[in-house]
Amino acid sequence: MMHRINVFFLVAAFAFLFSCHKGKNNPESCNGDNRREVKLMTDVLAPEIDTAAIFTTIDSLGGIPVPEVKGETGRLDLEKKVFTVRCRVDEIKKCRDGDYHLRLISGEDSYLITEAPNPGCDYAQQSAWHNTFISVRNFIESNDLEGKTVTITGVAFVDIDHHYKRKQAKNNLELHPILKISF
């Protein structure tokens, strides 16, 4: 019996150690791997992004027709635009890839996902926007944002269809990365 318990704890310890090579503890999976260059503005078309923000609403963004994208899809024309929205933060969570995921809400059921990349990841450090990522993260980490109204500016990003129901824009449009956030 004692041998079984020792074997169990040994297996559990190894499982724990190897699990540390996933998600936010692994620089290879930081910032996710689907369309990573587009998310971090390190792709060849990133210099074409028009940083003059367009003030809009969650409903308007959710109504923009977008094509279906795959993990390797390059930057779309829509993703060369920056938008600003003012709305309430419904939820914040730190994702497994180390990004902060802010779900915004307008009214009762209009949602928009916005994300702040993990600036500690190698891929994010290669971005010309790395200092912006740090500033945004500092704001998120030093303020209690859930339930508060904020103004967020970010780059349009069409996420892949995850094929499960979640509270997001119906067209999978997000603002990723967040470039500016304030009360």
Please report which confidence band the pLDDT of residue 161 belongs to, taking 50, 70 and 90 as the band edges: low
User: Which of 51-60, 62-71, 155-164 has the weakest average pLDDT?
Assistant: 155-164
Q: Which of 147, 134, 128 is nearest to 90 (CA)?
A: 147
Return the bridge partners of 117, or none. none
Please report which confidence band the pLDDT of residue 159 belongs to, taking 50, 70 and 90 as the band edges: confident
pLDDT one-digit tens code per residue, 3-24: 665 555 544 444 433 333 344 4
Chain centroid to Cα 128, Å, comes to 17
pLDDT for the residue 160? 76
pLDDT one-digit tens code per residue, 92-110: 999 888 899 999 999 878 9
Average pLDDT over residues 44-67: 97
CB 97 within 8 A of CB 51: no
pLDDT for the residue 177? 98
Q: What is the pTM of this model?
A: 0.82
